[in-house]
Structure 1
Amino acid sequence: MELRRAFRLNGFLMLGVFVLLIIGIVVESHALSTGADGAARTVIGVAMAATILAAVLAASGFITVNPNQAKVIQFFGRYIGSVNEAGFHWVTPLSSRRGISLRIRNFETQKLKVNDLDGNPVEIAAVVVYQVVDSYKAAFAVDDYEDFVRTQSETAVRHLATTHPYQTDDSSTSSLRDGAEVAGELTTELRARTELAGIEIIEARITHLAYAPEIAQAMLVRQQAAQVVAARSRIVEGAVGMVGMALDRLAEQGVVDLDEERKAAMVSNLLVVLCGDRSAAPVVNAGTLYA
Structure 2
Amino acid sequence: GATQAGRIDLIAGLASSYRHKNGKRTPPNEDTAVNPNFAIDAARIYVSQKADIDRYLGLAPVPMHAPAGRSCIGLEADAIRLHSRNDIKIVTGRARYENTGKDGERLSNGGKNEVVGTISLIAGNYTDEEDRSFFDITRPFGRTKDSRRKLQPIPKGDNLSECLEDIVKSLQELSALVGDNTSMIQKMDLALSRHTHAIGVSPIAPYAPQALPPVPIPAVNMPGYSATPFVQTKSADSMENRGQFNKNLEAIKFNYLNEHFGSDYINSKYVFTT
Class of the TM-score when normalised by the shorter of the 2 chains: under 0.3
Which structure is larger by alpha-carbon Rg, 1 or 2? 1
> Which structure shows the higher helix fraction?
1
TM-score by length of 1: 0.24
TM-score, normalization by structure 2: 0.25
Greater relative contact order, per chain length (Cα 8 Å cut-off, separation 6+) = 1
